[in-house]
């Protein structure tokens, strides 16, 4: 089994390279920290920590239900959305059944599938790094009987490419599945970890389809825009029968007390989300300008990060940057051996990271051959 490779923690690089200052732009975290309202809520509940958390997540689910206008029976919480997707795979797939995704899609689905002895099927990306929805549908229809695919994962926007599914294409995809006779045996999971950062008017959250399509599941996380990655909490929206099964399978105390109260407070902090969005959008524009100047191609991103082509062996660039105290994210495991992913940090962090990158690029020659992958060269 190939485990998930997380971004390197700051403390590890400080120890290993004896550096004081380390800039981490490797895990798409919010550089502004948690919302001040969330921090206050956490402080207010520290004295409750001798008690077990509310296993029903009652208050927070009610709050989310009002916010999203979705009944409470259709919402559940997990220890990060990665716990939810892991449990979904265990619920839906018998060993030997499988999940389907695009190449270049977020890698956690495949890791969870492997650990549940489920199969992972993948369809190639289009040359412009977009998901090939027609290809995914056709693969499913052609192999449905033999492969027993139970879940289709669509991260929207996707990490690490930052690309999104246009509304029209997504709608017709969902309609096609809605017409299937055995549609109840298959769920389409829209993982919307970066939904708050999308600017493209072509985008629509699948929360909108909740009432139209029975086999659509939506994942949300509070790790990215809400700045609460360290607390581990994410949400699932889906049909009541599946949510019910999920709640039986998950551990009763999977979401701790501080996470429950912090998210409720953070959801009220609209100013904080606005500031986070602005920071990301300005940062992305800065990255686009700088990478254009460096002559390095980027994929326009709808997340808080961007994937760029170093035109070199990216592993070498990554290592040289670590020695300078800058942590970016290699994406060779996604089939992109010449690319790296960088997330937007504070203005100063972005500047320092790019100036380190410029120095490093001078020392590492370009590869002659275009290594440019489309996610198909594993
Ligand atoms: C970061 C990320 C997640 C995981 O979020 P957690 O809630 O922290 O587990 C899920 N999906 C995608 C696409 C992500 O990039």
DSSP-assigned letters across all residues of 174-218: HHHHHT-TTGGG-EEEEE-TTGGG---TT---GGGGTTT-TTEEE
Q: What local confidence, expressed as pLDDT, does residue 185 receive?
A: 85
> Which of 26, 221, 227, 263 best tests ligand 1's pocket when mutated (most atoms within 8 Å of CB)?
221
Pick from 130, 160, 108, 194: nearest CA to 339: 160
Nearest ligand 1 atom to alpha carbon 82 = 9
Residue 378, pLDDT > 70, answer no
CA of 368 relative to ligand 1 center, distance in Å: 35
Give the pLDDT band of residue 4 (cuts 50, 70, 90). confident
Predicted confidence at residue 215, as pLDDT, reads: 93
Q: What is the pLDDT of residues 131-164, one digit of tens each?
A: 999 999 999 999 877 779 999 999 999 999 999 9
Q: What percent of the chain has pLDDT over 90?
A: 87
Question: Is residue 371 predicted with pLDDT exceeding 70?
Answer: no
3 or 118, which is more confident: 118
157 neighbors 190 (Cβ within 8 angstroms): no
- Band (pLDDT 50/70/90 cuts) for residue 370 is low
Residue 165 pLDDT exceeds 90: yes
Name the pTM for this structure.
0.95
pLDDT higher than 70, residue 235:
yes
| Pocket lining for ligand 1, CB < 6 angstroms | 28, 80-82, 106, 155, 159, 191, 193, 221, 223-224, 229, 234
Contact 316, 342 (CB under 8 A): no
pLDDT at 160: 98
Average pLDDT of the residues in 298-305 = 97
- Ligand 1 pocket test, pick from 82, 111, 165, 250 with the greatest ligand atom count within 8 Å of Cβ, gives 82
Mean pLDDT of 256-270: 98
231 pLDDT more than 60 = yes
Q: Decide: 363 and 320 in contact? Cβ < 8 Å.
A: yes
How far apart are the C-alpha atoms of 256 and 95, rounded to whole Å?
31
What's the confidence (pLDDT) of residue 377? 41
Instruction: Map tokens 């919402």 to a residue.
Output: 75
What confidence score (pLDDT) does residue 373 get? 56
In whole angstroms, give the CA distance from residue 315 to residue 370: 15
Query: Is the pLDDT score of 375 beyond 70?
Result: no
Cα→Cα distances 26→204, 299, 342, 345, 349, Å? 27, 17, 6, 10, 12
What local confidence, expressed as pLDDT, does residue 376 receive?
Answer: 46
Q: Which DSSP category does 298 fall into?
A: B
Residue 180: what pLDDT?
84
The per-residue pLDDT of the chain, averaged, comes to 94
Instruction: Look at residue 289 and tell me whether its pLDDT is greater than 90.
Output: yes
Greater model confidence, 60 or 12: 60
Average pLDDT over residues 173-188: 88
**Measured from the CA of 224, which atom of ligand 1 is nearest?**
1
Return the ∠ at Cα 328 (arms to 327 and 331), rounded to 5°: 140
- For residue 159 the two structure tokens come to 């990490």
Q: From ligand 1's centre to the CA of 142, what distance in Å?
A: 30
pLDDT above 60 for 254 = yes
The answer on pLDDT for 181 being more than 90 is no
Segment 249-254 mean pLDDT: 98
The helix/strand/coil state of 53 is coil
211 confidence band (pLDDT: 50, 70, 90): confident
- Distance in angstroms (rounded) separating the CA atoms of residues 228 and 34: 6
Q: Is the pLDDT of residue 340 over 50?
A: yes
For the segment 275-295, the average pLDDT, to the nearest whole number, is: 98
In this predicted structure, what is the pLDDT of residue 296? 97
3-state secondary structure of 343: strand
Q: Which atom of ligand 1 is nearest to the CA of 155?
A: 13
Measured distance CA(350)–CA(287) in Å, rounded:
8
């Amino acid at each position: 089994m190939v485990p998930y490779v997380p971004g390197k923690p700051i403390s590890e690089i400080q120890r290993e390279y004896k550096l004081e200052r380390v800039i981490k732009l490797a895990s798409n975290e919010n550089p502004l920290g948690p919302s001040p309202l969330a921090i206050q809520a956490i402080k207010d509940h520290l004295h409750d920590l001798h008690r077990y958390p509310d296993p029903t997540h009652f208050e927070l689910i009610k709050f989310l239900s009002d916010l999203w206008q979705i009944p409470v029976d259709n919402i559940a919480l997990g220890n990060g959305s990665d716990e939810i997707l892991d449990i979904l795979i265990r619920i839906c797939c018998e060993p030997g059944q499988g999940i389907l995704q695009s190449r270049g899609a977020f890698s956690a689905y495949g890791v969870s599938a492997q650990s549940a002895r489920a199969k992972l099927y993948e369809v190639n990306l289009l040359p412009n790094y977009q998901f090939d929805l027609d290809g995914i549908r056709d693969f499913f229809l052609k192999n449905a009987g033999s492969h027993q695919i139970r879940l289709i994962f669509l991260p929207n926007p996707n990490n690490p490419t930052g690309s999104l599914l246009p509304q029209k294409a997504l709608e017709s995809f969902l309609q096609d599945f809605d017409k299937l006779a055995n549609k109840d045996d298959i769920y389409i999971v829209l993982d919307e970890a970066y939904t708050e950062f999308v600017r493209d008017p072509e985008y629509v959250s699948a929360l909108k389809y909740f009432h139209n399509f029975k086999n659509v599941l939506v994942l949300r996380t509070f790790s990215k825009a809400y700045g609460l990655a360290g607390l581990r909490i994410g949400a699932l929206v889906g049909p009541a029968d599946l949510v019910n099964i999920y709640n039986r399978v998950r551990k009763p105390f999977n979401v701790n007390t501080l996470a429950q109260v912090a998210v409720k407070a953070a959801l009220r902090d609209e100013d904080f989300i606005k500031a986070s969005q602005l920071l990301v959008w300005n940062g992305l524009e800065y990255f686009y300008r700088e990478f254009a100047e460096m002559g390095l191609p980027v994929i326009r991103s709808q997340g808080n990060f961007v994937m760029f082509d170093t035109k070199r062996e990216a592993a070498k660039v990554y290592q040289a940057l670590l020695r300078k105290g800058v942590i970016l994210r290699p994406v060779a495991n996604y089939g992109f051996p010449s690319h790296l992913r960088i997330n937007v940090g504070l203005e100063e962090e972005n500047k320092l990271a790019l100036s380190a990158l410029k120095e490093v690029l001078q020392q590492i020659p370009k590869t002659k051959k275009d290594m440019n992958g489309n996610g198909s060269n594993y």
